[in-house]
Every structure is written in structure tokens, then in C-alpha cells.
Amino acid sequence: MLQIKPILTMLMRNKSGPVLLLIQIVLSVAIVANATFIISERLSLMDRESGVIEEQVFDFRLYTFDASIDLASQNQRDIQTIRDLPGVIDATSTSMVPLSGSSWVSGYTVGSSEETAKDTESAALYYSDEHMLNTLGVELIEGRNFYQAEVMTGSPDLASHGIVTKAFASATWGDDIAVGQTLYAGDYGDNPIKVIGVVDKLQGASVDSDFLDNSIVLNVKLVNEFAKVLVRAEVGAVAQLKEAIPASLHKDNPNRVLQGFKLISDHRKSSYRNHELMATVLSLMVVLLLLITSLGLAGMVMFNIERRTKQIGTRRALGAKKRDIISLFLVENYLICLAGGLLGGVAAVQLGQQLMTIYSLPKLDLTYPLMTVVGLLVLTTVAVIIPARKAANISPAIATRSV
């Protein structure tokens, strides 16, 4: 019952149904393979580790409008007040918040001479003090942290020491030791910054950046009317600190506005919202396409059962068993699916190349068209086997009398 030639002959007698179904499978494989690939890419992006203890670290903004206030002294008192609160592990002011979307990015120059100087990849810049690493909970893997005496207050041009991420160190110096190297802000020789430490991971603010894992912490506390503050809290203490911090800071100076109080984990959700939406929409599209294709195959089988009642009854009268009838329809399904899968795989690769060119997506992995075809075979088998079992139950006597 598994001869291919008779099955092909039967399919060719009524070409319109199989051809339309074949086109549907080709389009489904091409679209589903690329959609699944994009979903996988988005989920991989969303799963990237930031290097920060996201559920314990939160930020807020502190606005000061009184021109008579010494901002540097006020900032120092504010941060110390926060550190003294119960439930606070550490706190610091910063130029940027991880995964917040608002980024401060720059490139540097490296090289042993002006002739050999070259530009580095871009990196996110965190201006802060010796409390930054502990506040974020990042892991220092080489070198050391800033000494308190090394931390300057004022302009970014005062930066003289930096702590870089492993990703930036690898991209800039390869296998060479990063600690002790020098970065130059601008042309070679301008504003040298000595690398004193390397952290395992610290992402920047913009999750769509090509250099998200490249970050540098610099030894300068920026002082202005709009301070960004990072706080690392003990587990379970975040909620109470959102009440205690404004109350404590307003005791010292009530003429300020505090705004934000957002966990880094919440920043992550906000920053990746578009990626999550895309993955959700594409997932629904994949499910609908596979469902429609399966229903199309099931419908064709049910139509063929009505059209081939006499033929099925004759086969049963000649000794065909129920499993032979079921195999007949399954083989038809597999022939259509494999032909559609082959053509759909080619179409998927072509579509992937277009998406790669237009939207700068990575190259489509051939595993995705292959897995799509395999999934389609499994799904359509389930869709076909139910009406096929109905066909197998047709009595030879009823079939011959019904014509």
C-alpha cells in the first residue's frame, strides 16, 4: 500500500487541491522558519545578563532648584544619609543607569605611539566613585577598585582612572592584560585614563546597542541640579526604602523633588518591551500558520474520503487492512509536506537573506527550516490521522452500494 506511483497518480487526477496546499506549505515553511529564528534571536537578547543584581538595585532622580546650595556638599550628605538607612547595602550617584535606555556612550584611542594609535569600540560611560561596583553588585575579576582619594568631583575631563568590562578589554587588547593599559579621550595623548580594574560584566543603558557589554566606570562624580542615584537594598527592603529615602532627604533640605524609584529589573522590562511584543506577535503568527496548514490538510483528506468512497471500499474488499488505508492518506500527506518543505526551505533561505540585508538581521540558521518541516510533518500527521481512521472504517459493502 506504500507504492508511490499510484498515490502520485491519484494526486494528479485532481491537481488544484494538492497544488494549492503545496503553495500554502511552501509559504508556511518560509515564514515560520524565519519568524521562529527572529523569536529565538529576541529571546536570546532578552536573556542576556546585565551583571547587576537587578532585583535589589533601584534608581531615582533628585532635582535641586535652589541656586544657593553647594551641590557637591549636598550630594555627599544625601548619599551618606541614604547609606545610613536600615536596609541599604550601598548607594552612589551616577551618570547613567543600566538598561534604562538613556545612555552616555563614547569611544577612546589606544596605542603605544601616535603612529600606532587606533580607535576603540564604543563603550557606555559610568561616572561615579568607589561605591559604584558594590552598589551594582558587579564582580571585579582583575585589578582593583578606585581608592577614595582618586575620586574627583566636577567635569568628565577630570577622569584619570577607569574600570572596564571584560568584553571591552577583549575587544580592545585581545589576550593582553588590560590592567595597566591607557585609554586616551580624543586624539592620542589627550586626557589619559589608566585602566586599574576589569569587571566580569556590566551592561550599558541601551539594549539595542551593538556594544551593550562594553562599559567603563570612571573616577569622577558629576555634580549638577539633576542627580541620578543608585541604591542597593537588602532583600525585601526596597518597598520601605521608597518611603524612607524621600522622608530622610527632605529633613535635610525640603526644597527638592525626588522622582523615579525604579528597580533595574523594571528598567529591563521597559527596555525589552518591544522585543517581547515582537516575539509574542510572531509566536501567534507561527501558531496560526501551522494551524491553518494542518486544517487545510485535514480538509483535503476529508474531501478525498468522500470522493474516494468507492475506491476505499474496493481496496477493503480486495483485502486491504485498516492500517493500509490509513497509510495511504499519511503517505499522501508526507509527499505533499516533503515537496512543500523542500521548496519552502529554499524560499526561507531567500527570505532570510532579504531580511538580513534590509533589517540587518543575522543569517538564518538552516536548522530552523529543517525543524519547521519536521514540526509540520508531526502536526499534519495528527491532523490527517483522525479523518484517515474514519476512512479505514468504511465497510466494503456500504461503499459499493453507495455508488
DSSP state at residue 165: E
389 and 343 in a common domain:
yes
Query: Is residue 60 classed as helix, strand or coil in its secondary structure?
Result: strand
pLDDT value of residue 24: 87
Grid cell for residue 327: 497509510
pLDDT value of residue 6: 66
Asked if residues 231 and 80 have their Cβ atoms less than 8 Å apart, the reply is: no
Is 60 exceeded by the pLDDT of residue 98? Answer: yes
Nearest alpha-carbon partner for 163 in 202, 190, 136:
202
Q: Give percent of the chain above pLDDT 90.
A: 61
pLDDT band, residue 1 (cuts 50/70/90): very low
Residue 238 lies in a domain: yes
394 and 358 in a common domain:
yes
pLDDT value of residue 403: 46
pLDDT value of residue 357: 86
Residue 324 lies in a domain: yes
32 and 104 in a common domain:
no
353 and 311 in a common domain:
yes
Is 70 exceeded by the pLDDT of residue 86? Answer: yes
Q: Give percent of the chain above pLDDT 70.
A: 94
pLDDT value of residue 62: 93
147 and 71 in a common domain:
yes
Pick from 221, 254, 287: which residue ends a domain? 254
Which of 38-42, 56-60, 115-119 is predicted with the least confidence, judged by mean pLDDT?
115-119
Residue 239 lies in a domain: yes
Residue recorded with cell 535606555: 101
pLDDT value of residue 172: 96
Read off φ and ψ for residue 47, nearest 5 degrees.
-90, 0
192 and 226 in a common domain:
yes
| Overall pTM > 0.85 | no
Torsion, CA 268, CA 274, CA 279, CA 283, rounded to 10: 130
Give Rg (Cα) of the chain.
Answer: 32
Nearest alpha-carbon partner for 392 in 333, 298, 309:
309
229 and 113 in a common domain:
yes
Residue 263 lies in a domain: no
243 and 110 in a common domain:
yes
Is 80 exceeded by the pLDDT of residue 363? Answer: yes
Q: Residues in the chain, how many?
A: 403
283 and 234 in a common domain:
no
Residue 75 lies in a domain: yes
What domain range includes position 384?
4-47+273-401
Residue 61 lies in a domain: no
Is 70 exceeded by the pLDDT of residue 399? Answer: no
Pick from 254, 286, 303: which residue ends a domain? 254
CA distance 80 to 97: 20
Average pLDDT along the chain: 89
pLDDT band, residue 290 (cuts 50/70/90): confident
Is 90 exceeded by the pLDDT of residue 183? Answer: yes
Pick from 220, 254, 288: which residue ends a domain? 254
192 and 223 in a common domain:
yes
Residue 27 lies in a domain: yes
Residue 55 lies in a domain: no
228 and 167 in a common domain:
yes
Count of structural domains, the chain = 2
Is 80 exceeded by the pLDDT of residue 279? Answer: yes
Nearest alpha-carbon partner for 228 in 265, 267, 261:
261
Mean pLDDT across 353-357: 88
389 and 315 in a common domain:
yes
Is 90 exceeded by the pLDDT of residue 175? Answer: yes
CA distance 316 to 399: 9
